[in-house]
């Protein structure tokens, strides 16, 4: 019996060393969670037949318990590197169903999908057309690597000051090529339906006390003339809604301009100071390419394009479980839900039981500090050696007993 006890101790110590070895081997694995071997004593008889002087039959491995303590966060500055600071798991899908991971080292594949190193797709809640996100469904996070679609200029907003004391132009009629036929001018860019940039200029012509004409030219072609009237305090009175309407000449490259184009001059004034072009804003923009991706602590993924436009691509889903120990490891730093773990509780980062998402950081292995693992290894090795010594001692005693019997 003593031989079996010592042998069970050796097997237990070997199992402990195997677990510790795996922990140390994954000290550099992103998002890895270490484990500890757990043991129990063994009796050769049932509990009903145990007496006060019954000796156990050794030890056995009962569980390899996972340790889900948070690992340290390490800054990488990678735009698709993410770490969960706090509770939760990233949800990924490998085509066969959802799996869960703390490894946030994601990258973009050839199809623009954000995936793990093993190719599983990161899952997000898709954006709603009306704003927000549809938290009733999950989809792959797909980066729109194509150009951001262009938008033609349809509205121009001008905040300028026209000089009340300006003299009437000396030359008539107005001509954009004759600087003596207009009072002031400001230039800016507008965009057609294909995102092509065109040069636009507003020419202001004073026509009388408190009255002005605004002439809009695009690429040297007239888009029309609109009148403005100010009161004695210099505030705009006409048009009453502050909107001037222009009809541009359509470009010859196959693109189009909206017709009409509205110019809002509500905040344009006529004061006794010098001409001030103020600000001119328009709502068109050229096509843009993806330049960067921003991920908030709440998991909202925003694409930033070269034309200064942004698009929300989704909100990263986060999962948690009633019993983390019930999760089943499937390799590649991923787990699947089991009956023991319970079904995944899905939500979003920074809300309730879920932690924050940190972009440009990765969670290191929670066994990266190998000091404690090495101490455990020494203890397991000592256990192994002690049981080996016990095995040798029992073997020697048995041999002496057999020799005594032979002499008798």
What's the whole-number average pLDDT of the chain? 90
Rounded Cα–Cα distance for residues 104 and 109 (Å): 15
Buried b (16+ CB within 10 A) or exposed e, 223-252: bbebebebeeebebeebeebebebebeebe
For the ranges 12-16, 72-76, 147-151, 384-388, the lowest mean pLDDT is seen at 384-388
Please name every residue paired with 228 in a beta bridge, in sequence order, or none if there are none. Answer: 212
Please give the pLDDT value at position 228: 98
**pLDDT per residue over 313-338, tens digit each?**
999 999 999 999 999 999 889 999 99
Task: For residues 195-200, give the mean pLDDT.
Answer: 95
Rounded Cα–Cα distance for residues 186 and 231 (Å): 23
Listed by start position, the domains of the chain span 2-69+378-407, 73-147+289-363, 155-282
Rounded Cα–Cα distance for residues 275 and 72 (Å): 59
Supply 14's token pair.
């070997």
pLDDT tier at 340 (50, 70, 90 boundaries)?
very high
Please give the pLDDT value at position 219: 96
91 vs 374, more confident: 91
- Cβ-count burial of 357 within 10 angstroms (0-12 exposed, 13-18 middle, 19+ buried)? buried
Supply 358's token pair.
């940190």
123 vs 61, more confident: 123
- Cβ-count burial of 194 within 10 angstroms (0-12 exposed, 13-18 middle, 19+ buried)? middle
Is residue 90 scored above 90 in pLDDT? yes
Residue pair 30/404 in contact (Cβ under 8 Å)? The answer is no
Please give the pLDDT value at position 13: 75
**pLDDT per residue over 292-309, tens digit each?**
999 999 999 999 999 888
Cβ partners under 8 Å of residue 168, min gap 6? 206, 207, 208
Q: What is the pTM of this model?
A: 0.76
211 vs 18, more confident: 211
Angle CA 143–93–358, to nearest 5: 60
Q: Tell me which range, 9-18, 19-28, 60-69, 255-264, is most confidently predicted by mean pLDDT.
A: 255-264
Please give the pLDDT value at position 19: 84
Task: For residues 245-272, give the mean pLDDT.
Answer: 96
Nearest in space to 315 (alpha carbons), one of 146, 138, 148: 138
Write down how long the chain is: 408
For the ranges 90-104, 236-250, 361-375, the lowest mean pLDDT is seen at 361-375
Is residue 107 scored above 60 in pLDDT? yes
**pLDDT per residue over 362-388, tens digit each?**
999 988 888 888 887 888 778 777 767
Please give the pLDDT value at position 401: 55
Is residue 199 scored above 80 in pLDDT? yes
Instruction: Name the CA dihedral angle for 184, 187, 192, 194, rounded to a multiple of 10 degrees.
Output: 180
Rounded Cα–Cα distance for residues 90 and 98 (Å): 10
383 vs 64, more confident: 64
Is residue 45 scored above 80 in pLDDT? no
Class of domain 155-282: mainly beta
Please give the pLDDT value at position 395: 61
Q: In which residue are the tokens 């009148």 written?
A: 227
Please give the pLDDT value at position 374: 81
Supply 395's token pair.
């073997």
Is residue 167 scored above 70 in pLDDT? yes
CA 385 to centroid of chain Cα atoms: 50
Instruction: Return the percentage of the chain with pLDDT > 90, whole number.
Output: 67
Please give the pLDDT value at position 275: 97
Is residue 197 scored above 90 in pLDDT? yes
């Amino acid at each position: 019996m003593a031989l079996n006890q010592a042998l069970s101790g050796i097997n237990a110590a070997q199992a402990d060393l195997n677990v510790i070895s795996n922990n140390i081997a994954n000290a550099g694995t992103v998002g890895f969670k270490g484990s500890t071997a757990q043991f129990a004593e063994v009796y050769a008889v049932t509990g009903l037949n145990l007496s006060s002087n019954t000796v156990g039959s050794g030890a056995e491995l009962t569980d390899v318990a996972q340790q889900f303590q948070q690992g340290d966060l390490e800054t990488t500055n990678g735009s698709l590197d993410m770490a969960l600071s706090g509770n939760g798991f990233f949800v990924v899908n490998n085509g066969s169903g959802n799996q869960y991971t703390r490894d946030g080292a994601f990258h973009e594949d050839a199809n623009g999908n954000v995936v793990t190193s093993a190719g599983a797709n990161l899952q997000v809640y898709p954006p709603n057309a009306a704003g927000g996100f549809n938290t009733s469904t999950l989809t792959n996070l797909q980066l729109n690597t194509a150009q951001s679609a262009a938008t033609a200029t349809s509205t121009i907003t001008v905040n300028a000051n026209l000089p009340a004391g300006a003299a009437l132009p000396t030359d008539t009629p107005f001509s954009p090529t004759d600087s003596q036929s207009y009072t002031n001018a400001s230039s800016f860019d507008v965009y057609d339906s294909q995102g092509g940039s065109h040069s636009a200029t507003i020419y202001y012509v004073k026509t009388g006390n408190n009255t002005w004409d605004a002439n809009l030219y695009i690429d040297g072609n007239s888009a029309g003339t609109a009148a403005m009237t100010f009161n004695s305090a210099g505030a705009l009175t006409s048009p009453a809604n502050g909107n001037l309407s222009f009809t541009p000449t359509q470009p010859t490259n196959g693109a189009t301009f909206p017709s009409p184009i509205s110019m809002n001059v509500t905040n344009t004034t006529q004061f006794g100071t010098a001409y001030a072009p103020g600000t001119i804003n328009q709502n068109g923009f050229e096509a843009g390419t993806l330049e960067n991706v921003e991920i908030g602590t709440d998991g909202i993924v925003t694409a930033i394009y070269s034309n200064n436009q942004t698009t929300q691509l989704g909100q990263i889903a986060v999962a948690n479980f009633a019993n983390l120990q019930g999760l089943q490891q499937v390799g590649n730093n991923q787990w699947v839900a089991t009956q023991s773990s319970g079904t995944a509780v899905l939500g979003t980062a920074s809300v309730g039981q879920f932690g924050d998402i940190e972009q440009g950081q990765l969670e290191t292995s929670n066994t990266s500090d190998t000091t404690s693992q090495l101490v455990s290894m020494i203890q397991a090795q000592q256990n192994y050696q002690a049981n080996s010594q016990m095995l040798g001692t029992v073997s020697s005693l048995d041999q002496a007993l057999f020799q005594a019997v032979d002499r008798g």
